[in-house]
Amino acid sequence: MRGIASDEYGVQSLPNMFVIDRDGRIVHVHRGYSPEMLEGFMKEILALLPEDALKRPAGGS
C-alpha cells in the first residue's frame, strides 16, 4: 500500500500506529500488532492525557 500519507509517515508495514500528542507531535510509533502490545499502548496513551481527564468517568460529559 503506497500513498502520500504512508510516504510522509514512513509506513513500511501494516498495521502501523502513531500516538500523537496534543501539540501534534508523533511521540510513539508501533509497527505490527500482537495482543501482548495492548497494555503498553494503553500506558503510553494514558501518560499523555491531562490529569483532569483521568479523573472523569468514562462516557461522561
pLDDT for the residue numbered 60: 60
pLDDT for the residue numbered 2: 62
DSSP E strands, 1-61: 16-20, 26-31
Give residue limits of the domains in the chain: 4-53
Q: What is the pTM of this model?
A: 0.59
Query: Is the domain defined by 4-53 classed in CATH 3.10.20.90?
Result: no
> 14 pLDDT exceeds 80?
no
> 28 pLDDT exceeds 70?
yes
d(CA 60, CA 53): 10
pLDDT, tens digit (0-9, with 9 covering 90-100), for 29-61: 888 888 999 999 989 989 988 888 888 888 765
> 1 pLDDT exceeds 60?
no
